């Protein structure tokens, strides 16, 4: 490349533009027009500029900015240092790009079509843009990258079916991670152990890796919210076990589909604020928050959880700083598991629908609640509701319907209830109601309750010396 006679007209235009600090723009061509010679530049010519192989040429503060070109050959830029912008926008790049260990001001590949991107341990002073029509036919690897701005994949397309499509494991990203606005991924998004200073924002996007992990965030750290909403769809398993989210996990108007498996695995996650799985949230497959630590409330109003093979929503061993809201259009087709949970507020299931004909619709053994348990005002369970050994301020089941023919409809054996137990005003059970050795410090009110097909009488014996009873037995 030392002799200018080896350069094409397109490459001479590139060098002139870089010298002048402007964009080398080859893009004013009609859509679909073939990539002619006047738009083709070699990868070697770009490398030559960075190696000072072109006499009298060195990138200015404008950097290297190319639009609408076809770049031929492998773009081998490992370990290069360019303190100015590096932009290849709307380009067709035939071979993989190697930016491993490179140091750049920013990396902008918006609208470009590439084969692969190898950018392990890349460092940028600002953002990385893989957006606005960007297409990759193979893995985009940013493992261990240090990005001092946003990672934007807005409107990008990443095609790597059955393999990792976006790999940012162990990366540090000071800004936001934007997987939104038309993003489509075929393959896995890997954010394991990533550290994000801003939001993780997933909206109006679709990622799929059916039958396998589709989005991994295990051990990740997020300084702000994690948002999956507004038409976000995922096929495959999403995992964020052992992750830490400083603010809120917000999942609304989204669909997580991994039928027969786990749709969302968030075991041992730490969330500083609320967890929202509501307002047209839909999961097909188990949603797991086992042993999670959630500083605010869990809000599932209007959420639908579907896992007929077992438990649909699992919060066993979780510590919740607020209340659990599973009421008003909440639907679980599969059990809800709350064994050993510690809840600073209440469990509110008023008007919720819980169904698990194979076993427990609600299992809450040995849980500790400072507030009440409300299974009232249109609550409906098909399957056993078990709160044995739990502690709560009240158990309110007025106008609740509990159906488990031939089995246990409601069991609160060995529970400790500091206030009232209300099985009244339209309460209806189809199956046994058990209150063996239950400590009730308030009233037991069964007035206007209906108890059907019980095995041991209307209500099994209650043996608590300090109990005050007001029932219709």
Please tell me the distance from the alpha carbon of residue 136 to that of residue 153, in angstroms, as a whole number.
Answer: 11
Residue that wins the pLDDT comparison between 357 and 204:
204
pLDDT at 298 over 50: yes
Q: What is the pLDDT, as a whole number, of residue 36?
A: 82
pLDDT tens string 99-120: 999 999 999 999 999 999 999 9
Contacts of 365 (CB under 8 A, 6+ apart): 339, 340, 386, 387, 388, 389, 390
Residue that wins the pLDDT comparison between 37 and 178:
178
Mean pLDDT calculated for residue range 221-236: 98
272: in domain:
no
Burial class (CB in 10 A: 0-12, 13-18, 19+), 406: exposed
pLDDT at 472 over 50: no
Residue 59's pLDDT band (boundaries 50, 70, 90)? confident
Which one-letter DSSP state was computed for residue 4?
G
Residue 471's pLDDT band (boundaries 50, 70, 90)? very low
pLDDT tens string 118-137: 999 999 999 999 999 999 99
Kindly report the average pLDDT of the chain as a whole number.
92
User: 440 with 414: CB under 8 angstroms?
Assistant: no
pLDDT at 261 over 80: yes
401: in domain:
no
pLDDT at 435 over 70: yes
Q: What is the pLDDT, as a whole number, of residue 52?
A: 77
User: 324 with 348: CB under 8 angstroms?
Assistant: yes
CA nearest to 255, candidates 275, 276, 230? 230
Please tell me the distance from the alpha carbon of residue 69 to that of residue 8, in angstroms, as a whole number.
Answer: 13
Please tell me the distance from the alpha carbon of residue 177 to that of residue 187, in angstroms, as a whole number.
Answer: 18
Of all residues in the chain, the percent with pLDDT exceeding 90 is: 84
pLDDT at 50 over 90: no
pLDDT at 470 over 80: no
Residue 153's pLDDT band (boundaries 50, 70, 90)? very high
418: in domain:
no
pLDDT at 179 over 90: yes
Neighbours of 455 (CB within 10 A): 11
Neighbours of 17 (CB within 10 A): 18
170: in domain:
no
pLDDT tens string 75-99: 999 999 999 999 999 999 999 999 9
pLDDT at 5 over 60: no
30: in domain:
yes
419: in domain:
no
Residue 357's pLDDT band (boundaries 50, 70, 90)? confident
Q: What is the pLDDT, as a whole number, of residue 60?
A: 83
Here the tokens at position 398 are: 């007025």
Residue 30's pLDDT band (boundaries 50, 70, 90)? low
Mean pLDDT calculated for residue range 427-445: 96
Q: What is the pLDDT, as a whole number, of residue 31?
A: 60
Characterize the bridge pairing of strands 416-417 and 439-440: parallel
C-alpha to C-alpha distances, 170 to 17, 65, 80, 218, 247, nearest whole angstrom: 37, 29, 21, 11, 21
pLDDT at 293 over 80: yes
Q: What is the pLDDT, as a whole number, of residue 89?
A: 97
Give the structural domain span for 99.
1-126
Q: What is the pLDDT, as a whole number, of residue 469?
A: 40
Q: What is the pLDDT, as a whole number, of residue 32?
A: 60
Here the tokens at position 263 are: 């749709």
User: 338 with 367: CB under 8 angstroms?
Assistant: yes
Sign for the pseudo-dihedral over CA of 383, 384, 387, 389: negative
pLDDT at 331 over 60: yes
Burial class (CB in 10 A: 0-12, 13-18, 19+), 466: exposed
Mean pLDDT calculated for residue range 286-301: 98
How many domains would you assign to the chain?
A: 1
- Total residues found in the chain within this entry: 473
Mean pLDDT calculated for residue range 447-470: 56
Of all residues in the chain, the percent with pLDDT exceeding 70 is: 93
Tell me the sheet residues that pair with 250.
Answer: 227, 276
pLDDT tens string 337-356: 999 999 999 999 999 999 99
Please tell me the distance from the alpha carbon of residue 246 to that of residue 226, in angstroms, as a whole number.
Answer: 9
Q: What is the pLDDT, as a whole number, of residue 35?
A: 79
User: Residue for token digits 């162990």?
Assistant: 170
411: in domain:
no
Which one-letter DSSP state was computed for residue 348?
E
Neighbours of 350 (CB within 10 A): 19
210: in domain:
no
Residue that wins the pLDDT comparison between 66 and 37:
66
Q: What is the pLDDT, as a whole number, of residue 190?
A: 98
């Amino acid at each position: 490349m030392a002799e200018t006679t080896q350069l094409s007209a397109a490459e001479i235009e590139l060098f002139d533009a870089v010298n002048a600090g402007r964009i080398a723009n080859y893009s004013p061509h009609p859509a679909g027009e073939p990539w002619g010679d006047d738009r083709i530049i070699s990868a070697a010519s770009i490398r030559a500029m960075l190696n000072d192989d072109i006499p009298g040429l060195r990138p200015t503060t404008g950097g290297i900015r190319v639009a609408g070109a076809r770049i031929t050959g492998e773009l081998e830029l490992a370990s290069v240092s360019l303190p100015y912008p590096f932009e290849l926008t709307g380009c067709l790049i035939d071979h993989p790009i190697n930016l491993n260990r490179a140091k750049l001001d920013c990396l902008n590949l918006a609208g470009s079509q590439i084969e692969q991107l190898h950018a392990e341990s890349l460092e940028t002073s600002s953002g990385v843009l893989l957006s606005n029509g960007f297409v990759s036919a193979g893995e985009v690897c940013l493992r261990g990258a240090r990005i001092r701005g946003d990672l934007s994949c807005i409107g990008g397309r990443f095609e790597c079916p059955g393999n990792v499509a976006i790999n940012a494991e162990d990366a540090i990203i000071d800004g936001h991670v934007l997987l939104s606005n038309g993003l489509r991924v075929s393959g896995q998004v890997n954010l394991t152990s990533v550290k994000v200073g801003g939001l993780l924002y997933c909206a109006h996007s679709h990622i799929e890796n059916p039958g396998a992990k589709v989005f991994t965030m295990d051990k990740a750290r997020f300084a702000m919210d994690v948002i999956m909403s507004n038409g976000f769809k995922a096929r495959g398993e999403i995992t964020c076990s052992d992750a830490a989210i400083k603010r809120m996990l917000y999942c609304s108007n989204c669909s997580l589909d991994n039928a027969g498996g786990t749709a969302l695995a968030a075991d041992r996650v730490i969330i500083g604020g609320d967890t929202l799985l509501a307002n047209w949230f839909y999961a097909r497959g188990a949603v797991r928050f086992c042993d999670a630590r959630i500083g605010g409330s869990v809000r599932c109003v209007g959420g639908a959880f579907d896992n007929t093979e077992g438990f649909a929503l699992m919060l066993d061993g979780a510590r919740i700083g607020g209340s659990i809201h599973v009421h008003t259009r909440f639907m679980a087709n599969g059990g809800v598991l709350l064994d050993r949970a510690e809840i600073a507020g209440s469990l509110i299931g008023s008007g919720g629908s819980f169904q698990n004909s194979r076993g427990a619709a609600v299992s809450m053994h040995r849980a500790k609640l400072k507030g009440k348990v409300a299974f009232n005002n249109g609550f409906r369970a098909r399957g056993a509701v078990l709160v044995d050994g739990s502690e709560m301020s009240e158990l309110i089941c007025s106008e609740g319907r509990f159906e488990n023919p031939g089995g246990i409809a409601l069991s609160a054996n060995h529970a400790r209830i500091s206030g009232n137990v209300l099985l009244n005003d339209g309460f209806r059970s189809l199956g046994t109601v058990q209150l063996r050795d239950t400590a009730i410090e308030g009233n037991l009110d069964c007035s206007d309750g209906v108890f059907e097909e019980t095995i041991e009488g209307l209500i099994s014996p209650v043996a608590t010396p300090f109990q005050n009873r007001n029932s219709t037995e």
